[in-house]
Amino acid sequence: MSGNSDKAAGVANEAIGKAKQGIGSAVGSDRLKSEGAAQEVKGDAQKVTGDAKNAVKKAVDKTAEVLKKPL
C-alpha cells in the first residue's frame, strides 16, 4: 500500500471506529464500543504509517535528485 492509500484507509477505519463506539454507547453494547475503539486505534496507526511512507519517499526522491546533479 502506498502512503496515501494507508492514510485513506486510516481515515476510513477511524470514522468506522467512532461510529461503532457511538452505536455501542447508544445501544449499551460494551463489545461494540470496544471494537470501535480498537478500529479507531488501527486507523490512527494506518495514518501514521502513511505519513512515514510519504516522508521516506520524499527523502529518497530528494536524494536521488541531488545525486543526479553534476558536481
Residues of the chain with pLDDT under 50: none
Domain span at residue 52 reads 3-68
Give the span between the Cα atoms of 45 and 6, in whole angstroms. 9
The pLDDT score that the predictor gives to residue 69 is 80
The pLDDT score that the predictor gives to residue 12 is 97
**Grid cell for residue 16:** 468506522
The pLDDT score that the predictor gives to residue 71 is 67
The pLDDT score that the predictor gives to residue 1 is 76
Q: How many domains in the chain?
A: 1
Q: What is the pTM assigned to this prediction?
A: 0.80
